[in-house]
Amino acid sequence: MELIAFVLGASLFGLVVWDLFQTIVVPRPSPGRFRLGRYVTRGSWLLIRYVGRRDGKTHETLLGLFAPAATLVLLATWLSALVISFGLVLFALRDQLSPVPQDLGTTIYYAATSILTVGSGEILAVGVAARIVVVVASVSGLGVVALVVTFLFSLYGSYQRREVQVVTLQAAAGAPPSAVQLLETYARLDLTGRLPELFAEWERWAAEVLDTHVAYPLLGFFRSSHDNLSWISALGTVLDAASLVLTTTRNVPRGEAELFRRVGSHLVEDITNLGFRTGLKSGGDGMSSASGVNRAAFEEARARLAGAGYDLVPAAEAWPAFEAARTVYAGRLEAMAGYWATPTNSWLDSAAIPRSPAHTAVAPTEQASDQEI
């Protein structure tokens, strides 16, 4: 009995340390089946989404509270697992405690007081092995709290830097943001010469988001504090604007747009490689199963850009080029928006083109059931 308790306790302790190391210390994706944090985060997120669908009034509130609450739930999970693990080990070594505990519950209580550094004094470790275990338990409790606090500061710093760019985009692209409206605004304000600067700023933004969100996937659950905005729709908007500049317009510098398109597409690919399953079903009305945009919507966008004063490439040449460019990232963005329940990418505007089934994200439970978070 003692040997079984010791092995179980030691194994659970190792699992907690490994999960903490992979979740907080390692600055890169670390998928794995033996991860407490992964199952806690994914399971609670699916539950919150289900509750939100049952009660639409509280849906957005619950989704907004999820990410901050998830960090506290993870802390409680790790601490609870540590208490149980050291409780099991001390139960195996109970002969080295004074007075000798008569049951597992008592040793778990003693482990909790050690990990939380409460130190009730009701039980004392008198053996060498038991004293070492108690010291390790105390250090582990302090270490877990310190790591999670550091983790929180890192998460909020990355979140705030991400949102500044998203909010400023609203002034030119609207809410929800639209790629066509973005280009129209720059033309109307005689700012088309600053489009390369815009794409350069978003290239740097995409590189930072790529680094932080792939390393710490929990950042994807942090929602914008503004209605009809999300970092996913903002990214899709600027990607669409870059694709339009590269395939549909003339006399607009293309170098920065191409560089941003590469970095932005890399960001979308790496995020979805965490476990999303992408794909848009084929629909009617000429809707592309890969790009999610039909020819009629593209023609309307061209008309609006022409009205704004842009010199355009002929439609017969521009449409296949734009469709091919958007195919690289459209389905993946829809999968991300579907899983995180954020506003989807409105490349034209929110009301101009009805969204067909082909342009709607696949059901979230089908898209991201293997999310490695």
Domain positions in the chain are 2-148, 174-367
Q: Is the pLDDT of residue 356 over 50?
A: no
Instruction: Report which of residues 113 and 354 the model is more confident about.
Output: 113
pLDDT score, position 365: 38
8 Å CB contact between 112 and 70: no
Across the chain, what does the average pLDDT equal? 83
User: Phi and psi for 311 in degrees, rounded to 5?
Assistant: -85, 125
**What's the CA gap between 304 and 302, in Å, rounded?**
5
Closest CA to 296 of 361, 235, 252, 356: 356
User: Phi and psi for 250 in degrees, rounded to 5?
Assistant: -115, 160
- Min mean pLDDT across 142-151, 206-215, 282-291, 327-336 is at 282-291
Average pLDDT over residues 43-57: 73
- For 203, residues 6+ apart whose C-beta sits below 8 A from its C-beta are 256, 259, 260, 263, 264
- Min mean pLDDT across 309-318, 333-342, 345-354 is at 345-354
pLDDT score, position 217: 86
Q: Is the pLDDT of residue 282 over 70?
A: no
Instruction: Report which of residues 209 and 225 the model is more confident about.
Output: 209
Please tell me the pTM assigned to this model: 0.81
pLDDT score, position 345: 62
pLDDT score, position 349: 57
